[in-house]
Amino acid sequence: MSPDPRPKFLQVILPVPRYQTYTYRLPETWRENPRPGQLLWVPFGRKKQIGMVADLRSEAPIGLEEIKEVLEPLPADYGLEPELWKLFQWATQHYLSPPGEVLRTFFPNSILKGKLDKGERARSPSPTIFSSQNGPVTLNPDQNRAVTLVKEHLGTFFPILLQGITGSGKTEVYLRLCDEVLARGGGVLVLVPEIALTPQMLSRFVDCFVDKVGTYHSAMTDTQRLQTYWGLKEGRQRIVVGTRSAACLPVKNLSLIIVDEEHDSSYKQEERFRYHGRDLAVVRAKMSKIPVLLGTATPALESRENVERGKYHFLKLPHRATAKAQLPKVHLVDLRRDRPHPDTLLSVSLREKLLLTLERKEQALFFLNRRGFAPFLLCTDCGEVVRCPNCEISLTMHKAVSRLICHYCDFYLPILEQCPACPSDQLQAYGSGTERIEESFQKAFPGVRIGRLDRDVAQSRKKTEEMLSQFETGKIDILIGTQLITKGHDFKRLTLVGILQADVTLNLPDFRAPERVFQIVTQVAGRAGRHELPGEVFLQTYRPEHYAITAAMAQDPEAFFVQERVFRKELSYPPFTRIIQLKLLGSRQDAVARASRKVADSIQTLMSRQKTVNILGPAPAIFERLRGKYRWQILIRSQHFESMRSCLVDNLPHLEQGLEAGVRLQVDVDPVGIF
């Protein structure tokens, strides 16, 4: 074979949401060929733009007329290292994502926008609000086993699922491992679901490693993120604690990846580049030949199944780390017998328990998976429910801001006095959200200090931190909240946890609903009795016999896994199949329906030779209209992921080009929540 002639053309990825790459001419004067992953300036439209080299070619693609020349390269250290370029390629191919969308996850905004200074060199890490009480602890035998196992496998790909109940000392294991890796000159990537909600976790890292730790998450400014990016790339920072997008950061000499709360659905990005931070992290570990530690109290079914299949090593931390802390006692409340109070949703038994708790000057936490005052406003004369004009979903009443708000598109109306469909003024707020619970508690327990934490409060990071620290320091007796309060907080005087209605989650139209319930209940329950005081949990439900409830009652992830596995297998759901979801969106219903049929037909033809592929739809999505767009979906399901993926990867650009104007195509590989 003769060596390739000198390449004259480049395929360049630009940060735009298209499947195609763009062809440019390589200037004759360039001495060196750019390498894939390198950044350069190119003319794009009337402006110049930063893009990334995907490929070099000796001939131009046929049919292109005028091909512009590349302007200039960026310094080599701005591009992706070979290792990350490999990960980038995998991500694009695996998630069937337009490469330009992936680009925007791999680079901080500032770089792609052409702000090329590297930010100030040194900076102090973010201020801590919780100071950690303890110095280094002596690890218990279970913790030691975990640390030793990881240490022994540094330098090889070694995925471990670490299943440890809340308070079992997982974070101590992470810290010890970081210490080890740092001592050997390596770097560590620590992924967490949401940083704003777990300031304690971050502060423990900062306490231990001070300015060697960087953070990376979406609440940071572009400049702050740029600082962490360069800090890691240039090795000034060796550890990064960040949310899902941190999985793509250029950590120097990366030697270990830790994914905390690996089951958490916020690792999945639901827009643009639809990747899963945990899965990307595992692939990165594989490519870099390093261990990856997945920690959780309630493993994702996929992860636990990987243990079953021998892909992941399995370790447990079965006990709470401090001998004094006992697992809480869990009581089941059958709401069919012990009816909830219509306003507070408290059953008689839970109410009694709460009064005792308050008497003892201890704290209580109540969980309800629904924010706002009431989920709908209903006309009791004609039955009309006030709905969002963009989404056709009922508007949630929010009393504090006097609005009816759509939880999907943020559309709002003032709270109506009169029915939109008839002359009646008999409008009633039906059902309860956290805001109503807070109000009812204030009426029912005068003098008791009550706080609330949900997305509405958490819009301000400051308010979130204030609320959490008030509860931590005992300035609040009762905290009411949604999912946000289930994360890793550690409250010393919290002894009572109430799950007001587990059914809100159990009845979601999603095959993962039982898994969610199990995880949420376990997480919430884990908040109680983490210190000297024993804790109790009350779980209220209308379906006490459901296996997700009974397993959660017993705090038994293995029991849940065994049953859920049977259910998934019978119905051919993941992890026994894989799903790729194609979604078509547009503002005209007929156009979306037509385009969906056309795409589904093409897919049928493309996959006709693959017997194991099962195509569902096209059909309107569960929420057919969201944010003013009609939405249809096609679900492709198969046990053989690679055959359906490879079939799509070559044809997506073509399918995209064939769409009629005004219709968009979105692809979601391994979707979480099929709405």
**Contact positions toward ligand ADP, by CB under 6 A?**
134, 137-140, 143, 164, 166-172, 321-322
DSSP string, 212-280: GEEEE-TTS-HHHHHHHHHHHHTTS--EEEE-GGGGG---TTEEEEEEETTT-GGGB--SSS--BHHHH
What is the spatial distance between Cα 427 and Cα 489, in angstroms, rounded to a whole number? 39
Least distance in Å: CB of 391 to Zn ion? 3
Task: Single out the residue of 542, 549, 495 nearest to residue 521, CA to CA.
Answer: 549
* Residue 167 partner contact from ligand ADP, Zn ion, none using kind-dependent CB cut-offs of 5 to 8 Å: ligand ADP
- Dist. CA 458–CA 350, nearest whole Å: 27
Q: Choose from Zn ion, ligand ADP, none: what does 452 bind? Cβ within 5-8 Å by kind.
A: none
Residue 83 touches which member of Zn ion, ligand ADP, none, C-beta under 5-8 Å by kind: none
Query: What angle, rounded to 10 degrees, do the helices at 82-94 and 277-288 form?
Result: 140
**Would you say how long the chain is, in residues?**
675
H/E segment holding residue 40: strand 39-44
What angle, 0 to 180 degrees and rounded to 10, lies between the N-to-C axes of helices 513-525 and 557-570?
170
Q: Which helix (H) or strand (E) covers residue 641, if one does?
A: helix 641-657
Q: Which of 192, 644 has the CB closer to ligand ADP? A: 192
For residue 384, the partner it binds in ligand ADP, Zn ion, none, with Cβ less than 5 to 8 A by kind, is Zn ion
Q: Classify 86 as helix, strand or coil.
A: helix
Smallest distance from ligand ADP to CB 326, Å: 13
Least Å from the CB of residue 229 to ligand ADP: 27
Closest approach of Cβ 146 to ligand ADP, in Å?
A: 11
Report phi then psi at 55, rounded to 5.
Answer: -165, 150
- Choose the one of Zn ion, ligand ADP, none that binds residue 164, judging by a C-beta under 5 to 8 angstroms depending on kind: ligand ADP
SS3 at position 659: coil
Residue 388 interacts with, from ligand ADP, Zn ion, none (CB under 5-8 Å by kind):
Zn ion
Q: Which among 10, 515, 526 has a CA at the least distance from the CA of 263? A: 515
Q: What is the largest CA-CA distance in the chain?
A: 87
* Distance in Å, CB of 663 to Zn ion, minimum: 20
Contacted entry of Zn ion, ligand ADP, none for residue 554, CB cut-off 5 to 8 Å set by kind: none
CB-nearer residue toward ligand ADP: 168 or 369 = 168
Rounded to whole angstroms, the Cα distance separating 524 from 271 reads 28
Q: Which of Zn ion, ligand ADP, none does residue 217 bind (CB under 5 to 8 Å by kind)?
A: none
587 and 630 in contact (C-beta within 8 Å)? yes
Which residue, 374 or 667, is less far from Zn ion as judged by CB? 374
C-alpha distances out from residue 369 to 484, 500, 621, Å: 9, 9, 23
Q: Which of 368, 170, 152, 146 has the alpha carbon at shortest distance from 262?
A: 170
Binding residues vs Zn ion (CB under 5 A): 379, 381-382, 384, 388, 390-391, 406, 408-409, 411, 419, 421-422, 424
Q: Which of Zn ion, ligand ADP, none is residue 408 near (CB under 5 to 8 Å by kind)? A: Zn ion
Rounded least distance, CB 504 to ligand ADP, Å: 26
Read off the tokens for 56: 């070099």
Q: Which is nearer to ligand ADP, 167 or 186 (CB)?
A: 167
Residue 647 Cβ vs ligand ADP, minimum distance, rounded to whole Å: 42
Residue 171 or 394: the one with the smaller Cβ distance to ligand ADP is: 171
**Residue 115 region, left (φ>0) first, then alpha (ψ -120 to 50), else beta?**
beta
Q: Which is nearer to Zn ion, 408 or 567 (CB)?
A: 408
CB nearer to ligand ADP: pick between 214 and 295: 295
Quote the least distance from Cβ 32 to ligand ADP, whole Å.
49
Cβ nearer to ligand ADP, comparing 70 with 257: 257
Q: Could you say which of Zn ion, ligand ADP, none residue 424 binds, taking C-beta under 5 to 8 angstroms by partner kind?
A: Zn ion
Beta carbon of residue 153, minimum distance to ligand ADP (angstroms, whole number): 21
Tell me the H-state helices in 141-221: 141-152, 170-183, 199-209
Q: Which does 296 bind (CB under 5 to 8 A by kind): ligand ADP, Zn ion, none?
A: none
Going by the DSSP 8-state scheme, the letter that residue 647 receives in this structure is H
Give which of ligand ADP, Zn ion, none residue 254 binds (C-beta under 5 to 8 Å, depending on kind). none
| Closest distance to ligand ADP from the beta carbon of 179 (Å) | 14
- Please state the closest distance from residue 263 (CB atom) to ligand ADP, in A: 14
Per the CB < 8 A criterion, the answer to whether 406 and 412 are in contact is yes
Query: Cβ of residue 174: shortest distance to ligand ADP, in angstroms?
Result: 8
- Cα-based distances in Å from 461 to 149, 225, 458, 467, 660: 38, 17, 6, 10, 43
Cis, bond preceding 299 (omega within 30 deg of 0): no
